Amino acid sequence: MTTIGPSLTITGEVSSQEDITIHGRVKGQIRMDNGALVVAPTAKVDANVQGTSVTIHGMVGGDVTAGRIELTPTADVTGTLTTNAVVVQEGATFHGVLDMDKAKAKAKPAAKAS
């Protein structure tokens, strides 16, 4: 498991094969080929996210594509959610579009061009 601390800001692309918890700020793109992504209550993510399981407690601005997405009561999300399964708990804030296209949600992230 990898933790991005509250004082850390990452700009660019984050790719991972393991679980990540973000407490800080990420701007750019997050690609999770395996593992779960947790956006902690203190986190601010301005990125498009692709993964298998994404749990959001903090702020996310960008499109999220995953097999399962959960928005907890402290979540504040703006963007398109593409998923097979979504949980939106009471108190979560969501501004955007929900796309439950199974083919899109299961698609693996495209390989990065060299």
Q: For every one of its 114 residues, what pLDDT tens digit does the chain have, with 9 covering 90 and above?
A: 899 999 999 999 999 999 999 999 999 999 998 999 999 999 999 999 999 999 999 999 999 999 999 999 999 999 999 999 999 999 999 999 999 976 666 655 544 444
Q: How many domains does the chain have?
A: 1
- Residue 13: per-residue pLDDT: 95
pLDDT value at residue 110: 46
The answer as to whether 56 is a domain residue is: yes
Query: What does the pLDDT read at residue 71?
Result: 98
Q: What is the per-residue pLDDT for 64?
A: 97
Q: Is residue 94 part of a domain?
A: yes
Query: Does a structural domain hold residue 21?
Result: yes
Answer yes or no: is 69 within a domain. yes
Specify if 108 maps to a domain.
no
Taking CA atoms, 33 is separated from 7, 18, 101, in Å, by: 25, 8, 19
- Enclosing domain of residue 61: 2-101
Q: Is residue 13 part of a domain?
A: yes
- Residue 52, number of CB atoms within 10 A of its CB: 16
> How distant, in Å, are the alpha carbons of 43, 48, 52, 109 from that of 88?
18, 19, 17, 24
In a domain? residue 112:
no
Q: Does 47 fall in a domain? A: yes
